[in-house]
Structure 1
Amino acid sequence: MTETEHSPAVQPFEAVAARLVDVAMGRAKADLVVRNARWVNVHSGEIIPATDIAVAAGRFAYCGPDASHAIGPDTAVVDAAGRYVVPGLCDAHMHVESGMVTVTEFCRAVIPHGTTSMFIDPHEIANVLGLPGVRLMHDEALVQPVNVWVQMPSCVPSAPGLEEGGAVLGPKEVAEAMGWPAIIGLGEVMNFPGVAANDPAMVGEIAATRRAGKTVGGHYASADLGLAFHGYVAGGAEDDHEGTRMEDAAARVRQGMKAMLRLGSAWYDVAAQVRAITEMGLDSRHFILCTDDCHSGTLVRDGHMDRVVRHAIAQGLKPMTAIQMATINTAEHFKLEREIGSVTPGRRADFLIVSDLCDLAIDAVYGRGVRLASAGKLEADMPAHAYPASAVDTVRLGRALVADDFRVKAPEGSGDDAEVRVIGVVENQAPTKALTARVPVVDGIALADPDNDVCRIALVERHRASGGVTNGFVSGFGYRDRCAMASTVAHDSHHMIVVGTSETDMALAANRLGEVGGGVVFFSDGKEMALIEMPIAGLMSNERAEIVAEKADGLIAAMRAAGCTLNNAYMQHSLLALVVIPALRISDKGIVDSADFKIVDLFV
């Protein structure tokens, strides 16, 4: 096998242990030896100079001062020339679907950025296609040249009674999935009130995961650190990525959880929470870095976990600490420290050659001992993955929508204006604000008020072809022109969300996505300005990540031309139906007070 062939499926340690011993002892020759490296040892916290590293059967066999005894005529030898050898980076919590691409395309995009292990929660496709959809992504994950483990979605729907998506999963399905080879645990348990109330479904799913000896992912999206938080922790969640404050991170670690600090395309939660380490002095072993949600534009241009590590270092962490939080800490949390997370014998030979540790300047990326990328360019041969017909044609509107579907009738006697509840977008964060505003009323219809940054929002039911439309108001996008954006990416029920200032454009945008089978589209003054087709479950494109990123650039440009100034408005748009995160959301059942978990009237 040459240095740059496709990474083979990794063999179990016990199948190759004898060969690893023989290579370490000099009785057999290595497949690859990296010489003269600075060994970034995440176990001891040292950088050890003048180290040689030998690889055999896709695993590390020897890490020490001289591997000449392991070099034979067929051994590939790489001179690190004093550069750093760093463990491959791990993303502890993420959703492939948020990248707008398939698992294969996501891996193609992130491998050059040093990500060699991902822990994905496919609850987006689960909400559309149910357990068969999870299996599709699971099986695609198995054939990647890097490690992609899957967390079984826990909350489908995310909040029973407040929304109705395209599927329902429960303890039976969770127990079944725990036997699949790539399932590593239970995905983020978003129904935190259900856990605190001992909801039978949540109790059953967590119990099935614990019986399987796997990790229970958390999602406590509340600032309340009182009894509700303690009840949630007692219910079994082992990590949480929803903290936004220093005290959130500290509270989770003190309760035995892992605090996952995320930096995604629109979620900037590392800086505030990392102060629990840099200022409070808490033990960094229990903190983990992740992305949660990154769209294709971020992946292609800005990076993935390398971006997160650099950001953490910029917030005052030592480079070693930040790297540990993206490698060994993650591996230990998922009970995989014997497989990944460090450059040490027996582990999978996933590593980076890095010329500058503070900037994490990655020169080469290796997976299972094979070079997959160098100088920022992918070298691995990764054919596109085809999805079956059952995964497309999932946008079922039932009828053509018209402008009247998006008009909101004001209460009798409203006069020239009416007071409405407004979803308030918070820049770079997942939570929203519960606002109110007085909007103009003309001929009995409550209108958008662009001058005061109040747009129309609608949720269009797209799973059962009911033709249902829920209407509301949203603030924070800043649209001035007559425009509308529609998306079938609408966490977590994944109906269609339409935001705009013009009912006519809202209808055009919704119908357009019905025609193409899902995605994101932007209309302005009756004209289509940008379109990203996502025919796979209405969530993922079947095109290359670079092409999707280019289309995403066009979308962002169209939004900005219409007045939007948000850092990543598409990601903010996609969360407006996420009823498990406070404070105000929209669902197919109405306007949702996500702090008290109840449906409320649109008009105050």
Structure 2
Amino acid sequence: MGDKKADLVLKNCNLLSVYTREIISNIQIAIVKERIAYVGPDASHTVGPKTIVIDVKGKYVGPGFADPHLHIDQFVLPSEFAKKALLCGVTSLFSDPIDIVSVAGYRGFQEFLKLGENLPIRIFQVVPGGLPVDKKFSSSKSLTLSQEKSAIKHPHVLGMGEVFSWTKVTLREPKTMKSLSTMLECDCIINGHTAGASEKKLNAYVSSGVLSCHEPINFDQVLERLRLGMWIMIREGSIRRDLKEIIPRVLSHGTYQNRLMFCSDGLDPLDISKFGHIDHCIRESVKLGLKPIDAITMASKNNFDYYNMAKDLGGIAPGKLADILIFDDMKSFKPNKVFVGGKLVVSNGQIVTPIKKKIIPTWIKNTVKLKNFSKNDFLIKSKKKDVVANTIYMQTEIITKIGSAELHSKDGYVSASLDSDIWKVAAFDRIHGKNKHAIGFLENFEADIGAFASTWSFHENDMIVIGSNDSDMAVASNYLIKNQGGLVAVKSGKILASLPLQLGGIISTDSFENVSSSFEKINNVIVDSGSKFSRPHLIPLFLPFLALPSVRILSGGIVDVKKRSYILPIN
């Protein structure tokens, strides 16, 4: 009513209204503290002597974007990721910190919550819903039922993250069902992961209270899930890009769009720098025929409708939190200015608010609990002169199948064969300090290096070491032990490139720019050495990933995922 004067007024706005899906000209917006007080043709009654008035001169004004599902416990600290996300107009992140929990349990979850607080971006968290992936093989840490109940009391914890082992639901695995019940009783959101599920299995999964999925890779999968009342997060990220398969069919079918969102599922430093974030999803969707206002609605309002947060966020209206973007045009969708809670955080493509790095406790930077290796630690014994090895054949960086190779032994030990593109691969439990490990063979890597090692692997976080010779495998392993995590490539005893990941062995404490440079270098070194794969960092990342067939390696052994049985490295 103007009895109290506004702190900020934006005038001459072309308002992108996600509530009516129209662009309204000559709008004025009054903001008091962190909330919007007035939206209409004349906010002069809210202007006082201390009110800041900004004439946006007919530019487009819309709500902040959201990424409804991503993993920010990767590559860089939340404070570093926030800088890049804000420049892309993303003011809210919905984080599933499954990997930091798999490394450091509930204590790590609590620490990660702290790392996401008091930043000029809104970070909401969920309790990981996928650990352990398969308790028969997995050694990852997870939360107990009582810890889950404690976690969801935190104001920034909204519910449960992707329950990606959907067979745990259809088979009614007791711990999973108790977790789901707890979430439902507390009126929490439960995110889904339905890759491979359909018909009665999908019905059963949805009936358990899981109401979203980011896994559909084509329109038929989207439609089946929408018809069952699910919300769909169309993924466009560093692992998969699904927009082009889905958006055109959404338009030709005339699908109701109120349950469609964009998500990244995680972005590597090069992709967010080159393409952007949710702004990239909007640009690509508009190119594919989606109306700009509909794309903005999917990037903002629909996310907060899904998370039951529409009373506070998702659009520009009185009473809402003032997360506001100002665009020069409706083509680039790169915001010129970004406000979060009424505070200017981005102006002219620059962060204009201080973002402080948090103090990282020492304990979470000491998670590689292994003793130094020698080349003898990578030996595979055999009394036979000629052996048939069961190999992990890399079809892509992610997809594997069981292979077979004839190898020779010398002095009772079987060696890798670089000439035949047969490598050794080892997995070490670095978390529990028990020296649990497995060694096998990997095929179809084709790189002229001695070893490639990583402490970061999805949801298991074993240290994975791929090598053409035992000496370089030991050098790579010892480098990661000394530096407490990261990725490293070695040849002839020399470090070719490395990416330090000091926090939990999965996140770097360095600047975004340094991490991006190191990440690019280690991939380029391996690709330039002859690897047929363009993203070799994904190989150790997915090698222990039990949610995908066909064959994986963990510290407990080589696993046939479908048969749920171990495979011997040599017959």
* The one of 383, 387, 390 aligned to 1:420: 390
Q: Is the aligned partner of 1:551 residue 2:518?
A: yes
Q: Is the aligned partner of 1:405 residue 2:403?
A: no
Indicate how the Cα distance of structure 1 residues 230 and 551 shifts in structure 2: closer, same or farther if over 3 A, else same: same
Q: Is the aligned partner of 1:381 residue 2:354?
A: yes
Q: Is the aligned partner of 1:133 residue 2:81?
A: no
Query: Would you say the 8 A contact 1:266–1:568 is kept in 2?
Result: no
* The one of 218, 226, 233 aligned to 1:245: 218
CA distance in 1, matches of 2:346, 2:121: 12
Counterpart of 2:34?
A: 58
Moved more, 72-81 or 496-505: 496-505
Residue type at the aligned position of 1:541:
S
SS of equivalent residue, structure 1 residue 371: strand
Counterpart of 2:96?
A: 121
Residue type at the aligned position of 1:461:
D
Residue by residue over 1:408-451, the C-alpha shift from the partner in whole angstroms, topping out at 9 and shown as x without a partner, is 45694745xx3524243536xxx624242435434365555656
Indicate how the Cα distance of structure 1 residues 365 and 598 shifts in structure 2: closer, same or farther if over 3 A, else same: farther
Query: Would you say the 8 A contact 1:216–1:237 is kept in 2?
Result: yes
Counterpart of 1:90?
A: 66
Residue by residue over 1:455-490, the C-alpha shift from the partner in whole angstroms, topping out at 9 and shown as x without a partner, is 4432111012222332334456x4330332211111
Q: Is the aligned partner of 1:234 residue 2:210?
A: no
Q: Is the aligned partner of 1:287 residue 2:260?
A: yes
Indicate how the Cα distance of structure 1 residues 440 and 247 shifts in structure 2: closer, same or farther if over 3 A, else same: farther
Query: Would you say the 8 A contact 2:451–2:465 is kept in 1?
Result: yes
Counterpart of 1:356?
A: 329
Counterpart of 2:319?
A: 346
CA distance in 2, matches of 1:380, 1:502: 50
Query: Would you say the 8 A contact 1:439–1:449 is kept in 2?
Result: no
Query: Would you say the 8 A contact 2:87–2:334 is kept in 1?
Result: no
CA distance in 2, matches of 1:169, 1:540: 20
Counterpart of 1:163?
A: 138
| Alpha-carbon distance, 1:108 to partner | 2.2
Counterpart of 1:262?
A: 235
* The one of 36, 45, 48 aligned to 2:12: 36
SS of equivalent residue, structure 1 residue 175: helix
SS of equivalent residue, structure 2 residue 107: helix
SS of equivalent residue, structure 1 residue 142: coil
TM-score relative to the length of structure 2: 0.93
CA distance in 2, matches of 1:450, 1:332: 54
| Alpha-carbon distance, 1:603 to partner | 4.9
Counterpart of 1:498?
A: 465
Residue type at the aligned position of 1:114:
G
Residue by residue over 1:493-533, the C-alpha shift from the partner in whole angstroms, topping out at 9 and shown as x without a partner, is 11112233333222211111100111111212321022222
CA distance in 2, matches of 1:529, 1:374: 39
Q: Is the aligned partner of 1:172 residue 2:142?
A: no
Number of matched residues?
570
Counterpart of 2:496?
A: 529
| Alpha-carbon distance, 1:454 to partner | 5.1
Gaps of 5+ in 2: none
Query: Would you say the 8 A contact 1:439–1:447 is kept in 2?
Result: no
SS of equivalent residue, structure 1 residue 210: helix
Query: Would you say the 8 A contact 2:389–2:407 is kept in 1?
Result: no
| Alpha-carbon distance, 1:284 to partner | 1.8
Residue type at the aligned position of 1:50:
N
Q: Is the aligned partner of 1:49 residue 2:29?
A: no
Q: Is the aligned partner of 1:581 residue 2:548?
A: yes
CA distance in 2, matches of 1:314, 1:77: 35
| Alpha-carbon distance, 1:93 to partner | 0.6
| Alpha-carbon distance, 1:263 to partner | 1.8
Gaps of 5+ in 1: 1-24
Residue type at the aligned position of 1:260:
M
Q: Is the aligned partner of 1:196 residue 2:166?
A: no
Query: Would you say the 8 A contact 1:300–1:546 is kept in 2?
Result: no
| Alpha-carbon distance, 1:572 to partner | 4.5
Indicate how the Cα distance of structure 1 residues 161 and 31 shifts in structure 2: closer, same or farther if over 3 A, else same: same
CA distance in 2, matches of 1:65, 1:452: 73
CA distance in 1, matches of 2:320, 2:418: 56
RMSD (Å) for aligned C-alpha atoms: 2.3
| Alpha-carbon distance, 1:181 to partner | 1.5
Query: Would you say the 8 A contact 1:460–1:495 is kept in 2?
Result: yes
Moved more, 315-324 or 100-109: 315-324
Counterpart of 1:462?
A: 430
Residue by residue over 1:248-284, the C-alpha shift from the partner in whole angstroms, topping out at 9 and shown as x without a partner, is 2222222211122222223223322334413433222
* The one of 307, 315, 334 aligned to 1:334: 307
Query: What is the identity percentage for the equivalent residue pairs of Structure 1 and Structure 2?
Result: 27
SS of equivalent residue, structure 1 residue 77: strand
Counterpart of 1:4?
A: none
| Alpha-carbon distance, 1:395 to partner | 0.5
Query: Would you say the 8 A contact 2:67–2:264 is kept in 1?
Result: yes
CA distance in 1, matches of 2:422, 2:545: 20
Query: Would you say the 8 A contact 2:402–2:550 is kept in 1?
Result: no
* The one of 376, 393, 397 aligned to 2:366: 393
Residue type at the aligned position of 2:549:
P
Query: Would you say the 8 A contact 1:209–1:216 is kept in 2?
Result: yes
SS of equivalent residue, structure 2 residue 93: strand
Residue type at the aligned position of 2:61:
V
Query: Would you say the 8 A contact 1:521–1:555 is kept in 2?
Result: yes
Residue type at the aligned position of 1:116:
T
Query: Would you say the 8 A contact 2:395–2:401 is kept in 1?
Result: no
Indicate how the Cα distance of structure 1 residues 83 and 425 shifts in structure 2: closer, same or farther if over 3 A, else same: farther
| Alpha-carbon distance, 1:201 to partner | 0.5
Structure 1: which 4+ aligned runs deviate by more than 6 Å?
Answer: none
| Alpha-carbon distance, 1:136 to partner | 1.0
SS of equivalent residue, structure 2 residue 168: helix
Counterpart of 2:290?
A: 317
Residue by residue over 1:193-251, the C-alpha shift from the partner in whole angstroms, topping out at 9 and shown as x without a partner, is 111111110011111111111100112232x4243333222222121122223322222
Residue type at the aligned position of 1:491:
F
Residue by residue over 1:388-418, the C-alpha shift from the partner in whole angstroms, topping out at 9 and shown as x without a partner, is 1221211001x22233433445694745xx3
Counterpart of 1:566?
A: 533
Query: Would you say the 8 A contact 1:394–1:537 is kept in 2?
Result: yes
Counterpart of 1:15?
A: none
Residue type at the aligned position of 1:102:
L
CA distance in 1, matches of 2:543, 2:389: 20
Residue by residue over 1:56-98, the C-alpha shift from the partner in whole angstroms, topping out at 9 and shown as x without a partner, is 1211111222222222221222222221112111011111122
* The one of 594, 599, 604 aligned to 2:561: 594
SS of equivalent residue, structure 1 residue 547: helix
Query: Would you say the 8 A contact 2:303–2:314 is kept in 1?
Result: yes
Query: Would you say the 8 A contact 2:437–2:554 is kept in 1?
Result: no
